[in-house]
């Protein structure tokens, strides 16, 4: 997969140009064409998307406006080719802001401009560290241990490498890719469009689909590890089992175990945990789970040796993973029974599994600027723009099905889709959620999941499971169904952050004991008494409706690298988060989550820990996380 390739000469035929312009998202298309031609007059006021309509994929543009935009873009691209295809200088300053505001459909306030400039990355990587170790601390031996070479670990390692900071990545698996390495279940794919679910510093025109499958994502993250020279810094097949802060030398003693079980130690000035939130499969606490005589496995440890042909298969769970593999299991098995505890809200996305049509792929290859503007479009409209729909309106009359008028509108829209998709009233009653949209993770479906549940050889059981028996599954109504295979799509130990590692900080304090099942961290990154320990995708950094988790990891990587800079510049050995700062931050996070659909709804979800606190989610805007992770405030830390 080619990362950040220089665009080739622009030589698309008229037909391909016109076909591509029919397929492209109109506003970012016009912005990209205006950029490369240098003709900002194309971005006319009467062709602006509608800021009040964030749900419409076309941005609320009328049919006439769409025709005008597509024609203007096609004509301009043909003229661009005819005139030799030389790109105009990159837009900057007010010209750039005007282009952003065209795509946004209205004014863009304050700090969003630098943030969106970074996300757009028109001139290449905008977030590279603007310092180098050799300039501020030549000859130092500061070393960072990074745990995990998944999406977050790669981001942190790349930034540390750019700043000239030594690091070693310890990866328990045999290859990079993290969750995209481990989850190999059939149908596994991302549900954030790839122009956004990709690093701002590693763009590619090689996505074959709008939402890539697991194998393509694995290839992408592998290509990033190669391109940024990270593999030579990675010890594959080595698991970090724990880490102890050694106050006397102001370093972490990182305990390692390799594939042969041989234990060793690595001494590091700082540790970055990039182990993710969704990396420890969770088996349900159901009686008799070990008694089952047939085959069984968890979706994140898919057993590809098991052939479903002719078998009676049970799937437990209907979350984002299960919804993706259920259609594949149904195709292969003789009969499938799906056990659903809580129905997910399912969003129909027609092109969810579709290939990017050839003309559009050709445009993306030759005009990568379109992918950049599309990234901004997705960021602004379908992510940041949807967050208000999850916010609780205190004036809204108490209602367990919606948290505001906007949220209720979403519920009605979804419900109409359900009524179209499920014609059997009995099945409709089973699958239609009775909690507010966005209180749990929304599942994307191009229609195949809904169709699968309506197959004659598929049953949906909504009775509670009482026990797993040697022969199958017994429900609360005492009915025992027999199966040959049980697949657990039951999610992850999301709130047990950093388990099973044993991390001990100042004075030997144990991280899990400190947390007591309620993990918290300042900015999701630092924990008092654990100096120079930095968490990525830590507590309260998961997003529900706005943003891509890659965005958060880039923010965290930036903060971590700036923290190392602070230590080196100030000739300090460690930084330890002040308890008061950490606690005040925690209170602010909790207050935010209490205003969100996932915070007030009583529906169960992996967003809450066993104590009922939302320990996973970030309740504020993407901008606010970016603002908070610009530079560490030395006053927030005790610097040794």
Q: Which residues bind ligand NAP (CB under 6 A)?
A: 189-191, 278, 284, 286, 316-322, 324, 339, 341-342, 441, 465, 489-492, 604, 606
Cα–Cα distance, 434 to 517 (Å, whole number): 29
Nearer to ligand NAP by Cβ, of 272 and 494: the residue is: 494
Least distance from ligand NAP to the Cβ atom of residue 245, Å: 31
Euclidean distance between CA atoms 240 and 286, whole angstroms? 30
**Which DSSP state fits 343?**
P
Q: Indicate the residue among 568 and 614 with the shorter CB distance to ligand NAP.
A: 614
The distance in angstroms from the start CA to the end CA of the chain is 44
Question: Cβ closer to ligand NAP: 189 or 496?
Answer: 189
Q: How far is the CB of 354 from ligand NAP (least distance, A)?
A: 15
Of the pair 461, 557, the CB lying nearest ligand NAP is at 461
CB of 227 to ligand NAP, least distance (A): 24
Nearest to residue 534, comparing CAs of 307, 330, 270?
270
C-beta of 332: minimal distance to ligand NAP in Å?
19
Tokens 């008061």 label which residue?
A: 580
Give the separation between CA 166 and CA 145, rounded to whole angstroms: 9
Tell the smallest beta-carbon distance from residue 338 to ligand NAP (Å).
Answer: 10
Distance of closest approach, residue 339 Cβ to ligand NAP, in angstroms: 6
Residues near 109 by Cβ (< 8 Å), separated by ≥ 6?
none
- Residue 295's Cβ-count burial label (10 Å; 0-12, 13-18, 19+) is middle
DSSP letter (8 states) at residue 525: T
Write the CB contacts of 158 (distance below 8 Å, at least 6 apart in sequence): 201, 224, 228, 230, 557
Q: Which is nearer to ligand NAP, 218 or 238 (CB)?
A: 218
Q: Which is nearer to ligand NAP, 224 or 320 (CB)?
A: 320
What's the closest the beta carbon of residue 479 comes to ligand NAP, in angstroms? 15
CA 253 to chain CA centroid, Å, is 31
Beta bridge partner(s), residue 246: 251
Nearer of residues 81 and 341 to ligand NAP, judged by Cβ: 341
Q: CB of residue 617 vs ligand NAP: minimum separation in angstroms?
A: 11
For ligand NAP, the closer CB: 250 or 342:
342
CB of 480 to ligand NAP, least distance (A): 16
Three-state SS across 132-180? CHHHHCCCCCCEEEEECCCHHHHHHHHHHHHCCCEEEEEECCCCCCCHH
Q: Which residue lies nearer to ligand NAP by CB, 370 or 537?
A: 537
- Residues 198 and 207: their CA atoms lie apart, in Å, by 10
């Amino acid at each position: 997969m080619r990362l950040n390739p220089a665009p080739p000469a622009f030589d698309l035929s008229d037909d391909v140009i016109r076909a591509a312009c029919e397929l492209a998202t109109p506003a970012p298309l016009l912005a990209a064409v205006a950029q490369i031609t240098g003709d900002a007059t194309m971005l006319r006021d009467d062709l602006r998307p509608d800021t009040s309509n964030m749900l419409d994929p076309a941005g609320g543009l009328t049919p006439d406006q769409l025709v005008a935009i597509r024609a203007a873009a096609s004509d301009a691209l043909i003229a661009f080719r005819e005139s030799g295809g030389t790109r105009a200088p990159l837009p900057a300053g007010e010209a750039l802001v005007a282009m952003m505001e065209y795509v946004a459909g209205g004014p863009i306030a304050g700090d969003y401009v630098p943030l969106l400039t970074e996300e757009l990355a028109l001139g290449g990587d905008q977030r590279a560290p603007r310092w180098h170790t050799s300039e501020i601390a030549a000859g130092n031996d500061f070393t960072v241990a990074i745990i995990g070479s998944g999406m977050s670990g790669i981001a942190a390692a790349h930034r540390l490498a750019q700043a000239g900071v030594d690091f070693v990545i310890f990866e328990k698996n045999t290859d990079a890719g993290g969750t995209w390495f481990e989850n190999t279940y059939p149908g596994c794919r991302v549900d954030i469009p790839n122009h956004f679910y990709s690093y701002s510093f590693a763009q590619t025109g090689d996505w074959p689909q709008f939402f890539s499958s697991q194998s393509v994502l694995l290839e992408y993250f592998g290509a990033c590890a190669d391109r940024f020279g990270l593999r030579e810094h990675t010890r594959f097949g080595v698991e970090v089992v724990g880490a102890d802060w050694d106050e006397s030398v102001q370093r972490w003693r990182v305990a390692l175990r390799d594939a042969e079980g041989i234990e060793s130690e690595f001494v590091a000035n700082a540790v970055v945990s990039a182990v993710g939130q969704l990396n420890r499969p969770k088996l349900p606490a159901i009686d008799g789970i070990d008694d089952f005589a047939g085959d069984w496995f968890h979706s994140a440890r898919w057993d590809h040796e098991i052939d479903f042909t002719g078998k009676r298969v049970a799937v437990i769970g209907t979350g984002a993973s299960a919804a993706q593999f259920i259609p594949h299991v149904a195709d292969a098995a003789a009969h499938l029974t799906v056990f659903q505890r809580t129905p997910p809200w399912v969003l129909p996305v027609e092109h969810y599994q579709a290939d990017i049509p050839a003309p559009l792929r050709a445009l993306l290859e030759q005009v990568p600027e379109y992918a950049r503007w599309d990234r901004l479009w997705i960021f602004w409209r379908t992510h940041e723009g949807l967050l208000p729909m999850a916010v609780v309106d205190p004036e809204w009359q108490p209602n367990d099905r919606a948290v505001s008028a906007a949220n209720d509108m979403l519920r009605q829209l979804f419900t109409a889709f359900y009524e179209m998709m499920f014609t059997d009233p009995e099945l409709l009653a089973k699958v239609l959620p009775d909690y507010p949209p966005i209180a749990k993770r929304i599942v994307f479906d191009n229609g195949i999941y809904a169709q699968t549940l309506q197959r004659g050889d598929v049953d949906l059981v909504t009775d509670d499971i009482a026990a797993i028996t040697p022969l199958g599954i017994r429900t609360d109504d005492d009915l025992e169904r027999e199966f040959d295979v049980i697949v657990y799509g039951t999610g992850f130990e999301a709130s047990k952050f950093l388990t099973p590692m044993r991390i001990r900080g100042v004075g030997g304090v144990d991280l899990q004991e400190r947390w007591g099942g309620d993990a918290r961290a300042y900015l999701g990154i630092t924990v008092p008494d654990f100096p120079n320990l930095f968490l990525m995708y830590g507590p309260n950094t998961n997003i529900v409706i706005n943003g891509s988790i890659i965005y958060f990891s880039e923010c965290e990587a930036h903060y971590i690298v700036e923290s190392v800079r602070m230590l080196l510049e100030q000739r300090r050995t460690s930084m330890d988060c002040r308890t008061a700062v950490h606690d005040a931050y925690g209170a602010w996070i909790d207050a935010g989550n209490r205003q969100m659909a996932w915070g007030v709804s009583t529906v169960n979800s992996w967003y809450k820990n066993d104590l009922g606190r939302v320990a996973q989610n970030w309740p504020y805007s993407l901008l606010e996380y970016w603002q908070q992770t610009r530079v560490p405030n030395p006053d927030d830390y005790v610097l040794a």
